[in-house]
Amino acid sequence: MLVVDDVEVVVDVVVVGGSVVVVVVVVVVVVGGGASSVTFTMINVATSPTMMVARMMLSAVLFDMGEGKTTGRSHTTEARRRLRDYRGDEGHGGICRLQSAWMTDGIDGLSPVQQRTLDVLRRSGDPVVFDAGFVDDIRDEMRAALDHFAARLGADEEVWISKHRIASVLECEEHHLLPDEFEWTSANANGTIAHKAIELLLSWPQRRGEPTPIDLVDEAMSRLGDESRSIGQWIETLSPADEADVRSQTTVRVTQFLENFPPLSRRWAPVTEASIRWPNSGPITLSGKVDLLFGRPNGRESRKVIIDLKTGRPNARHRQDLAFYALLETLVREVPPRKVATFYLDAAEAQADDVSERMLETAMRRTLDGLHRIIELESEGRAPTRRPGVTCRWCAINDSCEVGVAYLDARRASD
């Protein structure tokens, strides 16, 4: 089987009868076995102000569509400068294909851990193409289920479903209904700051050279501190010693990522903190935010890889969270991702699963089960059940809940 490696589209703009006409001149298809990309080459030979503006606009569109580059004699430098101004130094919403000092055009000189991670994540074997009928069935079944659940909601009632809410209601309904007493601490804030720092890493301007982990963490804290989100307010109130503590913990995480994760090729179109939501109308919305994803579908061929970054030990919930993201991606894009993976920063280890029909069906059943319970408990007033488990360790009523106390005592005895 032949695999398309690179496609180069060469584009020119000409004036015919006073009108600007875009001409797609050449398509070069390279056949091989590596990762795929589409490169748009804009021929920049400006002969009039009208032509220059037309070329600039087309350049911007092409850069947004793929891994753009401009060639030619006249305004290449100007095009790049204007494009940077147009996109901003950090690119669009964490998406950066051109400017990062950390991303590469190729992958070489990897450490053993980086190579191992790359081996776990990269494509192998035949292209992954899901049956179109299967994808349609998943979408149809989810739509029908959401219509059914929506009919059980009160007027103007809306339900947001996240991986966290599904897991929470399935683990212990009583705990799920307890007031959310979440507070920022250095332990939970450093994950959010590290994600922001990694987002900046992927967009770091090439002209500024490769950033150090401390550069990234400082910038991330400064940006989050400026935000009105609650973490911003929390950062603003930190004492110098607490701030130093958070910086040092977060720097460890970012260093672990830099050292152990393979540099991301621009050709993979990496994106951090990507929001995903389905459907786009109606009272029930499934939503998520993916730590890191790369790859784009090629027609119906699945190429996207979804990655969650974690500290701590692996547990079953991490895989279920990723399956929820794979389901969401299937619902939104109609092409399932190729692979999902958790990258454990402390252990420098990626655990990956190929996305399969079985994974997506299981994720759908679990999501609908959780949604059914959430509506029963939150909208229809059913009394919650108590289900002891790991959640008991941080549950606010774990000193008064009988089954929770018994569970924790039994755990302590067996430790």
Residues that bind ligand SF4 (CB under 6 A): 172, 174-175, 386-388, 391-392, 395, 397-398, 401, 403-404
Closest to ligand SF4 by CB, 167 vs 193, is 167
Q: How far is the CB of 412 from ligand SF4 (least distance, A)?
A: 14
Cβ 231 to ligand SF4 shortest distance, Å:
26
Cβ atoms of 287 and 161 closer than 8 Å = yes
**Between 82 and 386, whose beta carbon lies closer to ligand SF4?**
386
- Give the start-end residues of each E strand in 109-189: 128-129, 159-161
Task: Give me the least distance between CB of 179 and ligand SF4, in Å please.
Answer: 13
Q: What is the helix (H) or strand (E) element at residue 4, kind and residue range? A: strand 3-16
- CA–CA separation, 393 and 396 (whole Å): 9
Least distance CB 170 / ligand SF4 (angstroms): 12
Cβ of residue 216: shortest distance to ligand SF4, in angstroms? 36
Would you report the helix, strand and coil content of the chain in percent, each value rounded to 5?
45, 20, 30
DSSP string for residues in 55-113: HHHHHHHHHHHSS-EEEESSSHHHHHHHHHHHH-TT-BTTB-SS-BSS-BSS--S--HH
Q: Which of 148, 146, 163, 157 lies closest to 378 in space, CA to CA?
A: 157
Burial of 322 (0-12, 13-18, 19+ CB in 10 A): buried
Q: How far is the CB of 225 from ligand SF4 (least distance, A)?
A: 34
Nearer of residues 148 and 393 to ligand SF4, judged by Cβ: 393
**Nearer to ligand SF4 (CB atom), residue 214 or residue 403:** 403
Tokens 């069906």 map to which residue? 361
DSSP per position, 223-260: HHHHSSSHHHHHHHT--HHHHHHHHHHHHHHHHHHHHH
To 5 degrees, how large is the angle CA 304–CA 365–CA 168? Answer: 90
Spatial separation of the C-alpha atoms in residues 195 and 223, rounded to whole Å: 12
Contact of 160 with 372, CB cutoff 8 Å: no
Tell me whether residue 4 or residue 410 sits nearer to ligand SF4 (CB atom): 410
What residues have CB less than 8 Å from 407, skipping those under 6 apart?
388, 389, 392
Work out how close the CB of 165 gets to ligand SF4 at its nearest, in angstroms, rounded to a whole number: 15
Choice between 332 and 405, CB closer to ligand SF4: 405
Helix (H) or strand (E) holding 321: helix 316-333
* Smaller CB separation from ligand SF4, 262 or 404: 404
Q: Is 400 exposed, middle or buried (0-12, 13-18, 19+ CB in 10 A)?
A: exposed
Between 174 and 215, CB nearer to ligand SF4: 174
State the nearest-atom distance from the C-beta of 171 to ligand SF4, in Å. Answer: 7
Q: In this complex, which beta carbon is closest to ligand SF4, that of residue 16 or of residue 413?
A: 413
In the bound state with ligand SF4, the residue whose beta carbon lies nearer, of 74 and 398, is 398
Q: How far is the CB of 174 from ligand SF4 (least distance, A)?
A: 4
Q: Nearest approach, Cβ of 367 to ligand SF4 (angstroms)?
A: 21
Minimum distance from residue 361 beta carbon to ligand SF4 (Å) = 28
Q: Which residue's Cβ lies closest to ligand SF4? A: 404
Separation CA 335–CA 255 (nearest Å)? 34
**C-alpha atoms less than 13 angstroms from C-alpha of 386 in its C-beta half-sphere:** 14
Cβ distance to ligand SF4 smaller for residue 135 or 377: 377
CA distances in angstroms from 225 to 218, 221, 239, 397, listed in the order given: 10, 6, 13, 32
CB atoms within 10 A of CB 87: 19
